[in-house]
Amino acid sequence: MLSLEQLSQTVKEHLGLNEFVDGIQYTCKWTIDESPLGGRGLIASEDIMPGEVLFVDRPLIYGPRSGANVEQGCTVCGKLDSDTSYKCDKCSLLLCSEQCQNTNIHFNDCGIISRWNINTPIEDDNSNVLSRSLTPIRALMLNDDQRIFLASLQAHRLPQHGAEIRNLKQYYEIPEEEEQLMLLACCALDTNAYQIATAYGKREMSMRGLYPVSGLMNHNCVPNTRYYFNGDLQMTVKAVKPIRAGTEIFSCYSGILWGTPARRTHLYKTKHFLCKCDRCSDPTEGGTLLGALKCFSTECSGNLLPIDPLKSSSPWRCLQCNMRVPDENVRAVQGALGSLMGSLNFESVQELESFLINRITKYVPKTNQIVVDLQCRLIWAFGEVEGYRWHELSESRLALKESLCRGTLRTVAALGVGDAHLRGLLLYHLHAALAERARRSPDLYEEIKSEIESTIEQAYIILQGDISAPPDLELRRRYLGPGCDKPQEERFFILDA
Residue 491, pLDDT score: 80
CA distance 50 to 238: 8
CA distance 192 to 36: 19
| Predicted model pTM | 0.92
**How many residues appear in the chain?**
497
Residue 18, pLDDT score: 61
Residue 434, pLDDT score: 97
The one-letter amino acid at 325: V
Name all domains of the chain by residue range, CATH numbers in brackets: 4-58+211-251 (2.170.270.10), 62-209 (no CATH), 382-496 (no CATH)
Cβ-Cβ contacts under 8 Å for 402 (sequence gap 6 or more): 430, 433, 434, 437
Residue 124, pLDDT score: 65
Provide the Cα torsion 344, 349, 350, 356; round to 10°: 60
Contact 260, 280 (CB under 8 A): yes
Tell me the average confidence (pLDDT) per consecutive run of 10 residues in the chain, 497 residues long: 88 78 66 92 96 94 86 90 85 93 97 93 76 96 95 87 92 95 96 92 90 96 96 94 97 96 94 95 97 95 97 95 96 94 94 95 95 97 95 96 98 94 97 96 94 97 95 94 83 74
CA distance 234 to 228: 8
